Amino acid sequence: MLILDAHTHFACSRWEGHKWIHNSLEEAISVQKNNGVSGCVFCSWRAVLADTLEDFVAGNKETLEIYDKYPEYLYPGLILHPVFFKESMYFMDMFRERGLVWVGEMIPHKKIYQEFDDPAYEPLFKACADNNMIVQLHNSHGVPFVAEKFSTLQVVASHLWQDVLERESKIPNLMIDFSGMRGGCVSNSLTQARALFGAQRMLYGTDFEGYDPLPFLVRAKRDFPENEQGDIFAGNLLRLLKKHNSCPAFGNLLDDK
Ligand SMILES: [Zn+2]
């Protein structure tokens, strides 16, 4: 079965703020491949956690450099930052020119803004909607607010965070990826999320390298019936990229979608 991981942060650990988990990018990719994973959406930790312009720029550049090494295996996510709006738009143009349509996973910049519903984020999300980008957001109270406010924006909420799941399940422009602790460890969480969202609105994701992919794979194969596994493991993600006019992804996998 084709398996794509919609939520990873690859080997972006040369940055002193984040230690290596695996010894190299190549080793990390081989862990995914050995688990049968055929491709990953990813972005650089340095960009995700950036508080300075230097880290923000270096992190987004790093994401593109890593993508350019493995364009058939990886798909890059852009990080945006409310303080660095001009630079955010510079990188968005760069992604769009290449046909790259994914933003995130973004995490709220807690040191300055507590939540994605802070007005400082609005110009960024408006630009994403105008540019037909898919925006993957670390789940929090602000995520359903953003998806409701920008009804033409495709939001992918990350992690099965219980406080917001029911509200999010009612928002048509929102999908969920089941990366993180609740997707990989917590009892009965996939079954509950499936009951709320349905398999058509769920993406397989792990938060690798932070999490071992194996429990996610085992649980997803147990908790979704066989006729839904093709969608959650790859079909939903590929259709989403195709709908947003992405450039070729994971080799030529978009061609028959
Ligand atoms: Zn993540």
Whether 257 shows a pLDDT value over 70: the answer reads no
* 9 CA from centroid of ligand 1 (Å): 6
Cα 48 to middle of ligand 1, angstroms = 9
Cα(173) to centroid of ligand 1, in Å?
20
Distance 195 CA to ligand 1 centre (A): 24
Distance 242 CA to ligand 1 centre (A): 23
Average pLDDT of span 31-56: 94
pLDDT in tens, 191-244: 999 999 999 999 999 999 889 999 999 999 999 999 999 999 999 999 999 999
Report the chain's mean pLDDT, rounded to a whole number: 93
Question: So what's the pLDDT on residue 46?
Answer: 87
- Residues lining ion ligand 1 (Cβ < 5 A) are 105, 207
Q: Is the pLDDT of residue 14 over 60?
A: no
Domain ranges of the chain: 4-243
Mean pLDDT over residues 52-81, rounded? Answer: 95
pLDDT score of 12 = 59
> Which residues in the chain belong to E strands, given as ranges?
4-8, 39-42, 74-76, 102-106, 134-138, 154-158, 174-177, 202-203
Task: Indicate the range of 63-72, 108-117, 161-170 predicted with least confidence.
Answer: 108-117
C-beta contacts of 185-188 below 8 A and 24+ residues apart: 185/215, 186/160
CATH topology of domain 4-243: TIM Barrel (3.20.20)
